[in-house]
Amino acid sequence: MQKASAGKAGKVTKPVKAGPREADRAAPYKPRGSRRSEGAAQTPRATEAPSPDDSARAPIEPQRTLIVRTGERPAERVPLILESQGAGDFHLIDSGAGEKLEQYGPYRVVRPEAQALWPKALPAHVWEKADAIFTGDTDEDGMGRWKFPREALGETWPLSLLGVDFLGRFTSFRHVGVFPEQIAHWSWMKECVETAGRPLKVLNLFGYTGVASLVAAAAGAEVTHVDASKKAIGWARENQSLSRLDKAPIRWICDDAMKFIQREERRGHRYDIILTDPPKFGRGPNGEVWQLFEHLPLMLDICRELLAPKALGLVLTAYSIRASFYSIHELMRETMRGKGGLVESGELVIREAGLDGKTPGRALSTSLFSRWVPK
C-alpha cells in the first residue's frame, strides 16, 4: 500500500489501478551494449577500491556491463500521482500564464513554470507584491537573475520542512535550494526509517543541498550523500549544521554518481533505501558526463545490486525529460525482475494551496517518478 501520506504532504490523490500480476513474461530487456548474466564476475578491476577521497585522482574507470535480469517483473501500480500540498514553510500559492507563485517561509517567490498553461487564479496585485521574481533575462550570474521588487534580499534565508532546517537560496538556475515536490518521497522515506525498528542505510544520489539526506538522518538513518558539486556539498554541510545534525552519521561525498556506485558495488556495500534524482545532463567532478537517456539503465542496474537483502525501496525521479513515466516504469520493472515487490510510477505534483496555504486549487506537475518497494 502507498505509505507516503504524512499530514498534508505526500498525499495520494488518484486511486491507482492495480496492474495485472505477472503472468506473461516479456522478452528480456535488450539495451544497447553488452550484458552479463546475474551472478557473473564483476568488472576486471574488482580489486580497485579507492576511498571516496581518492576519487579526484582516480583514473577513468570502465563501466560495467548490464546484467541480464531473469524472473518475473515486480507487480505494478500505475499511474500513481503523489501529491504535496506543501509542508513546513513551503506551499504553492497560485500558478498560471507560465509562472508560479510560491511561499518559502517569509518570502513570496515568482518563477517561470512552463506547465502552468491555465490563467492565474489570484489578481495581479497579489503577484506584483512578490518578494522575489526570477527573470533570467540578464547574462549576469547568481543574484543578477533575480529581481526583488519590495526590498533587496540576501542570497539565503532560513527554511524548515519535515523537521529539518536549511537555507533557501536564490540561485542563478532559478532553483531555490530545495525541490519541494520531493516532499512526497521524503515523507515516505521518513516513515520507513522511523518505523523500520532497525537502523537503516540510505544512499542519496545527486543529493544537491542535502534536504533529503537531512530528513533521513533526522529520522535516524545512516546516510551516504553523493553529489558532483563541491559547492552543493558545502551548502548541504551548512544545512546539516542549521539542522543541528552535526553529529548525525552522514557521509558527504563529492564524486561522480556512476563512479561512486560502481565502487560501492565492488566493495559489497549495501543500502536499505536508495534515492536517485539524476538531472537530464550533468558532469562529475572530473568532467565525467552524465546523460540520463544513455546512463540510466546501468545506474538502476547497479542500484539494484546495492540494495540490501531487506531493502525498503529504490526511488527514481526524473525532471525535464521528454518521456512518459512509462519509460522509467518499464525500465524499473525490467531491472527489478526476480526481486518480487511492486513498482509504482507516475508523477509528482504540487497542489495550489492559495494565500492561506489551505485552499486547494489546481495540480501542477513537476516530474516523473518510479519506485520499487518490497511489498
Ligand X SMILES: C[S@@+](CC[C@H](N)C(=O)[O-])C[C@H]1O[C@@H](n2cnc3c(N)ncnc32)[C@H](O)[C@@H]1O
**Residues near ligand X (CB under 6 A):** 178-179, 182, 206-209, 211-212, 226-229, 232, 256-257, 277, 279, 282-284, 288, 290
Q: Toward ligand X, which CB reaches closer, 145 or 339?
A: 145
Provide, rounded to whole angstroms, the least separation between the CB of residue 52 and ligand X: 12
What is the 3-class SS of the chain, one letter each residue? Answer: CCCCCECCECEECCCCEECCCCCCCCCCCCCCCCEEECCCCCCCCCCCCCCHHHHHHCCCCCCCCEEECCCCCCEEEEEEEEEECCECCEEEEEEECCEEEEEECCEEEEEECCCCCCCCCCCHHHHHCCCEEECCCCCCCHHHHEECCCCCCCCEEEEEECCEEEEEECCCCCCCCCCHHHHHHHHHHHHHHHHCCCCCEEEEECCCCCHHHHHHHHHCCEEEEEECCHHHHHHHHHHHHHCCCCCCCEEEEECCHHHHHHHHHHHCCCECEEEECCCCEEECCCCCEEEHHHHHHHHHHHHHHHECCCCCEEEEEECCCCCCHHHHHHHHHHHCCCCCCEEEEEEEEEECCCCCCCCCCCEEEEEEEEEEECC
Q: How far is the CB of 281 from ligand X (least distance, A)?
A: 8
CB of 40 to ligand X, least distance (A): 26
Number of neighbours of residue 121 by Cβ within 10 angstroms: 16
207 neighbors 240 (Cβ within 8 angstroms): no
The CB-of-193 to ligand X minimum distance in angstroms stands at 17
179 HSE (CA, 13 A, CB side): 22
Distance in Å, CB of 23 to ligand X, minimum: 36
Distance in Å, CB of 278 to ligand X, minimum: 7
Nearer to ligand X, 136 or 234 (CB): 234
Q: Of the two residues 277 and 334, which places its CB atom closer to ligand X in the complex?
A: 277
Point out which residues pair with 160 in neighbouring strands.
165
CB of 73 to ligand X, least distance (A): 27
For ligand X, the closer CB: 146 or 260: 260
Output the nine-digit C-alpha cell for 303: 542500484
Q: How far is the CB of 102 from ligand X (least distance, A)?
A: 15
CB nearer ligand X, residue 96 or residue 182 = 182
The nearest distance, CB 288 to ligand X, in angstroms, is 6
Nearer to ligand X, 4 or 178 (CB): 178
**Residue 118 or 281 with smaller CB distance to ligand X:** 281
Smaller CB separation from ligand X, 271 or 290: 290
Closer to ligand X by Cβ: residue 76 or 165 = 165
Neighbours of 110 (CB within 10 A): 22
Q: How far is the CB of 275 from ligand X (least distance, A)?
A: 7
Pick from 112, 139, 31, 96: nearest CA to 320: 112
Q: Which residue is nearest to ligand X (CB)?
A: 282
- Residue linked to cell 551516504: 224
CB nearer to ligand X: pick between 226 and 337 = 226
